[in-house]
Chains A and B, each alone.
Chain A
C-alpha cells in the first residue's frame, strides 16, 4: 500500500536558519505529493503540492521538488521565521486530492 515517511522531530532552529524536512514515499504509479502545515490550535492547511515528477511546489518561501528517482519530496526554506513554528505533514494521494496518506508529522520550533 501507500506510505509516507518523514523525518522524526522535533526540529529546533534559530531564526534565519536554513530548513530541510525530509520526506520519502512508497506508492504505485504516479501519486500527487503535498505538504500541509498545522499551526497551534488549528486544522491543517495546504502549504504546497506537486502533481508530477520534477514539478516544484512553492509557497510562503517554502519549496519542495517531486523526485521520482529517489521517491522524495523534501521541504526546504532558505531563512525561517518564528512564525514558521508549526507541525508539517507530508502526504500523498493516488486519486485527486481526496484520499490522502499522511506522514507522522514533524514539529518545527524556531527560536529568535
Chain B
C-alpha cells in the first residue's frame, strides 16, 4: 500500500543549484501532478500529466521542468533554484479521465529550503 511516494522529505539548496524531486505511484494512475504549498496561498498547481509522454503547465510553472517517461514516475526538476522556490511540494495522482469517483491521492510532501 505505498500509494504516492515522494523523495526526499527535506532538502536545503543554495541559490543556483539544481535538483530533482522524485514522485512515484504504484496505483497505475494516468493523471499525476505537482503542487506547491505556501503559507496563506493554499496549494497551487505547477505541472501536470494526463499520461506517459504528456505534460502540461499549471498555474505556476516558471522555474520548473517535468517529464513523464513512465506511468509510475513524475519527477520535478529545478534547474536553478531561487529563494522564491522555498516551499512544500506535493505530488498527487488519480485515475483521471474526468472520473468523478477518483480522488487525488497525495504524497507526504517535500520541504525545500533555498538559501
Where the two chains meet, the residues of A that have a C-beta atom closer than 8 Å to any C-beta of B are 4, 32, 34, 36, 41-46, 49, 51, 89, 95-100, 102-105
Closest A residue to B9 by CB, please name it. Answer: A41
Within 8 A of A (CB), among B59-115: 90, 92, 94, 96-100, 102-104, 106-109
Measured between C-beta atoms, what is the minimum distance from B4 to chain A in Å? Answer: 7
Residue of A4, A97, A102, A105 contacting most chain B CB atoms (<10 Å): A97
Q: Is B42 at the interface (CB under 8 A from chain A)?
A: yes
Q: Is the CB of A97 within 8 A of B94?
A: yes
* Known contacts A95-B98, A96-B99, A98-B96, A104 near B106 by CB under 8 Å: no
* Known contacts A99-B58, A104-B40, A44 near B96 by CB under 8 Å: no
Residue of A32, A44, A49 contacting most chain B CB atoms (<10 Å): A44
Q: Is the CB of A89 within 8 A of B42?
A: yes
Residue of A32, A43, A46, A105 contacting most chain B CB atoms (<10 Å): A43
Q: What number of residue pairs across chains A and B have CB atoms under 8 A from each other?
A: 66
Q: Chain B residues near A100 (CB, 8 Å)? A: 43, 45, 104
Q: Is the CB of B43 within 8 A of A45?
A: no
Q: Chain B residues near A103 (CB, 8 Å)? A: 42
Q: Chain B residues near A34 (CB, 8 Å)? A: 103
CA distance A34 to B100 in the complex (A): 11
Q: Is the CB of B106 within 8 A of A97?
A: no
Q: Is the CB of A98 within 8 A of B31?
A: yes
Q: Chain B residues near A49 (CB, 8 Å)? A: 100, 103
Q: Chain B residues near A97 (CB, 8 Å)? A: 94, 96, 98-100, 102-104
Q: Chain B residues near A43 (CB, 8 Å)? A: 4, 90, 92, 106-109
Q: Chain A residues near B50 (CB, 8 Å)? A: 98
Q: Chain A residues near B103 (CB, 8 Å)? A: 34, 46, 49, 97
Q: Chain B residues near A105 (CB, 8 Å)? A: 42
Contact of B98 among A36, A42, A96 (CB under 8 A): A96
